[in-house]
Structure 1
Amino acid sequence: MAITESELCDWVKTGAAKEFVVVFDVDAVARVFTVINGERVPVGSARHPCRLFKTSVALVRFMQKVGVKKFTTEIAND
């Protein structure tokens, strides 16, 4: 299950989504997840079940747009 950008905006506004994790792979591509009830839920896009960011500028702009002010980062194990 993935959530859309508009759903994420609503969840951030209502406080339902408070924890966010950005996972970078070996190519520095970032994937965004929100943590709901202890489970990571990917933030999707029209083309991918988990939205991809190839630059940190694009990632930060997206997070600002949806109202996220703080997130943690990880490096993927694969």
Structure 2
Amino acid sequence: MTADPERRLAEALRAQARGGGRPMTPPRGEPERETGMSVRTALLLALLGGGVLGAVLALLSLLAPGVLPALG
């Protein structure tokens, strides 16, 4: 009958959802690599981007006065 395999599948899925199954392990051979960038890299990029933006705005205000709106 088809009820027995369906029941076993349902039990296996419930056990896996509860953490009763075997833990997933990465395949051997290559170490697991971290995806994405680290916090240090993100902060360094933000600092460099802010410095470049500040330099561009400073040059713009010196070379073309009146282009940027006054703040006061």
TM-score (norm 2): 0.18
Higher CA-based Rg: 2
TM-score (norm 1): 0.17
Bigger proportion of residues as strand:
1
Q: For CA contacts below 8 A with separation 6 or more, give which structure has more relative contact order.
A: 1
